[in-house]
Structure 1
């Protein structure tokens, strides 16, 4: 087949990610160390696909050496995961470290470094301790921010000499959007005011951890950086008409700029405060807190991009009996003829990569950023196995290739993007969907003692990493 290729920068990150709660399993976990996800699973197990959740996960906690060897075999330059806050401490108020769990994290970090893989560590990937959720309302509480800072200090003290890539949150808008805005996850409470308070408190917590990071001089000691991992869903309007453009702007304001602006620019859009006041959902804040946010922006940003979000102006009247929701200003637009991932129900639209690259360049000061997650979940992948028992996931290869090509196009146009991380290193548990849709370069065979096996995409990704070239089919091959 005739091919052309795109060159990948020599120092470009080509890695993969998972989280603690989605892989570790409960081996060694104390009863008092439930996270919000553990609580949800225990209280609402029936909504998880086949009843499978974080209890079993992929057993990474006992098999991390095996997994890291596979990462090395694939050639990953970086691996991102999280430290499970709920398991790292025995006493959240006084930040008493669980030495058993902390030693396990030590071993994972050391093994990664020994195998030539750079660890990237997130402090919270939906893992707020369950007791803080039930007693204080989770991230609705300013006290929880204080406790998060105590936790972060212990983590930095323990691993700051080795880890150079730190992140406060992964997708800080997600949990409260599912729980309090859309009320589709436990405990199913529609409360837009709580949604907004969680949003603000997590932005404030990020700024306070950046401040702590600077005070502990981790950058000077270890050339380390601290950022946050966000999941903006690029909003595309149905048309160029002003009413549709306004609808897209409103979606962007509430779901994207909500975190992009304070964490990168150090301030909220003024129009946001006006709208929050109009709808009586203003979060509790003071000038001192806004000053902290202004003075402590992140070093870089991870961006999780999977699909576009398409909207149009509302065509039906909003029901004023319903609490305020940003959908007051827009409705979803179903684009005719769009390409879909039918298993996940998400549109496949690779130009989101280039568009995000240009947005970071033009609207956010060309701040350093990288793709922290991108990938494709597919159901029942076993049907694609060949005679050698290797999953032939050509659909995933095409997905990655097309998205990475658009990203490289954005870099060529001057965007300060430094990497691409695939979700995920291996198949893993997702909220509610559990193992229904598989995302990994590595298969986890649940029916065969969680046996690991490389998929075709893993071999393909290895070639991309080794050659630093992305081979593209020519027009005659398409």
Structure 2
């Protein structure tokens, strides 16, 4: 394909504090919601908001406490990102590193200074920070006191947190995201909103209330940042991936429309400033209160751009018999016969990325930013040998090709592309290290054993050439 990405296109990678930082008991940091989520199958009870006991337990391993030690190794890691040629690094700030409990009046200076140092290091290499204000990350004290965003009081805590960030980092950070994968509150309320579900109450009513509170908080975040720094650009972040109907049956098509609304609902509120009609109907039926001030804040403070994660597409059917096997797995989807093998409950669908970009740009007519895209592999390291992660290279090549078509042929306005995660880190879905996404191998296993050594993989050098050529050299 002739042509290239626009000048200034932001190539880079993405990480998150709770999956890489570690240093949970250093620099004045308080405990966070993900700290108490153990490795192993029990983690799903936490993710879905079903676990009410948030205490540490003997004989359990809590991988977030050490992460990959980015807290101590950020200079080494950023130097490696710079070696690849990164123009942007998406990272998040640990809320409990700034406000250890979340209810303090004065932010923690040690925490603020840590991110000062990180941003200084990025600037040294001309890497633009793209900062997620809350990436599955809430002070545990607020989670236990308020049940996270199940409570309206959480909005005030978030406003104070955002105000502290923009006061400190104005001029150092241009691009902000209010919440990570905000629409996941409807599926994973604990990790997405710090909220647990009361089994004695209507589940959907609780989730819609959480959604309204966090959407209101997001709008306040946009307002606070814009007023403090008009040069800043604030975006949302949606867990994306188009839903296809299993057949061309009208019932299946309607089922796909309803599934795609799970993401559009949040995009509409954040980019258009109003609730879509179907969401209003549902909220009225569930008697969810939406205060006049909230609606005003939402309508007046829309995002400057929309960002999203894309790992693959999904398939839905209206046939209950087909759906029966999915009832015990909330994260599963039907298999698409037109795509390849299923890996980690996903099928690769590069063209689905082009479809998603077109659908979202057609709908909102605002700049887009792909801030997560990647695939996990169980890479093995033998000292002295190059890690041949061709699976990563093939995945990224195919998705960048479709991304390029969306930009050059379809006219989608795309700000940039950050792969997930550019260095091996804890997988949010599995809480393991063996599901490796990175261009850089980290010597750490699922039990927390290893040297933490960083080793560039084959894909490291491939992505270096992609960035250097602004997306032209995709075949090495």
TM-score range, shorter chain: 0.7 to 0.9
Q: CA deviation at 1:128?
A: 1.1
| Structure 2 Cα separation of the partners of residues 180 and 103 of structure 1 | 29
Question: CA, structure 1 residues 462+419, in 2 after alignment: closer, same or farther (shift >3 Å)?
Answer: same
Counterpart for residue 360 of structure 1: 360
1:452 and 2:454 are equivalent in the alignment: yes
Matching of residues 142-161 of structure 1 within 5 Å: 142-161=152-171
Matching of residues 260-409 of structure 1 within 5 Å: 260-278=267-285, 280=286, 282-316=287-321, 332-336=333-337, 338-342=339-343, 344-364=344-364, 366-379=365-378, 381-382=379-380, 388-409=384-405
Does the 8 A contact of 1:169 with 1:229 survive in 2? yes
Question: CA, structure 1 residues 124+224, in 2 after alignment: closer, same or farther (shift >3 Å)?
Answer: same
* Unaligned stretches of 5+ residues in structure 2: 47-58
Does the 8 A contact of 1:24 with 1:59 survive in 2? yes
Counterpart for residue 169 of structure 1: 179
For residues 105-140 of structure 1, give each alpha carbon's deviation from its aligned partner in whole angstroms, at most 9, with x where no partner exists: 110001100111111111100111111111111011
For 2:37, what is the secondary structure of its paired residue?
A: helix
Q: CA deviation at 1:467?
A: 1.3
| Structure 2 Cα separation of the partners of residues 158 and 132 of structure 1 | 23
Counterpart for residue 55 of structure 2: none
Matching of residues 415-454 of structure 1 within 5 Å: 415-431=412-428, 432-446=430-444, 448-454=450-456
| Structure 2 Cα separation of the partners of residues 265 and 193 of structure 1 | 23
Which of 13, 22, 27 is 1:16 aligned to? Answer: 13
Does the 8 A contact of 1:227 with 1:300 survive in 2? yes
Q: CA deviation at 1:333?
A: 3.1
* Unaligned stretches of 5+ residues in structure 1: 474-478
Relative to structure 2, which stretch is displaced further, 269-278 or 76-85?
269-278
Q: CA deviation at 1:27?
A: 4.8
Relative to structure 2, which stretch is displaced further, 47-56 or 410-419?
47-56
Q: CA deviation at 1:188?
A: 6.9
Does the 8 A contact of 1:405 with 1:470 survive in 2? no
For 2:472, what is the secondary structure of its paired residue?
A: strand
Q: CA RMSD in A?
A: 2.9
Does the 8 A contact of 2:317 with 2:323 survive in 1? no
Does the 8 A contact of 2:37 with 2:62 survive in 1? no
Q: CA deviation at 1:203?
A: 1.1
Counterpart for residue 214 of structure 2: 202
For residues 170-221 of structure 1, give each alpha carbon's deviation from its aligned partner in whole angstroms, at most 9, with x where no partner exists: 1123255224799xx99675522221112111111111111112221x12xx
Does the 8 A contact of 2:361 with 2:368 survive in 1? no
Does the 8 A contact of 1:165 with 1:225 survive in 2? yes
| Structure 2 Cα separation of the partners of residues 201 and 40 of structure 1 | 24
For residues 232-282 of structure 1, give each alpha carbon's deviation from its aligned partner in whole angstroms, at most 9, with x where no partner exists: 2311111222111110111122x211211001111111122223444x3x4
Does the 8 A contact of 1:361 with 1:367 survive in 2? yes
Question: CA, structure 1 residues 181+241, in 2 after alignment: closer, same or farther (shift >3 Å)?
Answer: farther
| Structure 2 Cα separation of the partners of residues 105 and 70 of structure 1 | 18
Counterpart for residue 463 of structure 1: 465
Question: CA, structure 1 residues 313+43, in 2 after alignment: closer, same or farther (shift >3 Å)?
Answer: closer
Counterpart for residue 224 of structure 1: 232
Question: CA, structure 1 residues 128+145, in 2 after alignment: closer, same or farther (shift >3 Å)?
Answer: same
For 1:409, what is the secondary structure of its paired residue?
A: helix
Q: CA deviation at 1:287?
A: 2.4
Relative to structure 2, which stretch is displaced further, 28-37 or 150-159?
28-37
| Structure 2 Cα separation of the partners of residues 283 and 318 of structure 1 | 29
1:33 and 2:45 are equivalent in the alignment: no
For residues 286-317 of structure 1, give each alpha carbon's deviation from its aligned partner in whole angstroms, at most 9, with x where no partner exists: 22211211111001111111111110114359
Q: CA deviation at 1:284?
A: 2.4
Q: CA deviation at 1:459?
A: 0.5
Relative to structure 2, which stretch is displaced further, 464-473 or 240-249?
464-473
For 1:333, what is the secondary structure of its paired residue?
A: coil
For 1:15, what is the secondary structure of its paired residue?
A: strand
Does the 8 A contact of 2:316 with 2:333 survive in 1? yes
Question: CA, structure 1 residues 5+62, in 2 after alignment: closer, same or farther (shift >3 Å)?
Answer: farther
Q: CA deviation at 1:455?
A: 0.8
| Structure 1 Cα separation of the partners of residues 198 and 268 of structure 2 | 27
Matching of residues 64-213 of structure 1 within 5 Å: 64-174=74-184, 177-179=187-189, 191-213=203-225
Q: CA deviation at 1:26?
A: 2.5
Structure 2-normalised TM-score?
0.87
Question: CA, structure 1 residues 211+424, in 2 after alignment: closer, same or farther (shift >3 Å)?
Answer: same
Question: CA, structure 1 residues 241+273, in 2 after alignment: closer, same or farther (shift >3 Å)?
Answer: same
| Structure 2 Cα separation of the partners of residues 306 and 71 of structure 1 | 22
Question: CA, structure 1 residues 131+454, in 2 after alignment: closer, same or farther (shift >3 Å)?
Answer: same
For 1:227, what is the secondary structure of its paired residue?
A: strand
Does the 8 A contact of 1:181 with 1:192 survive in 2? no
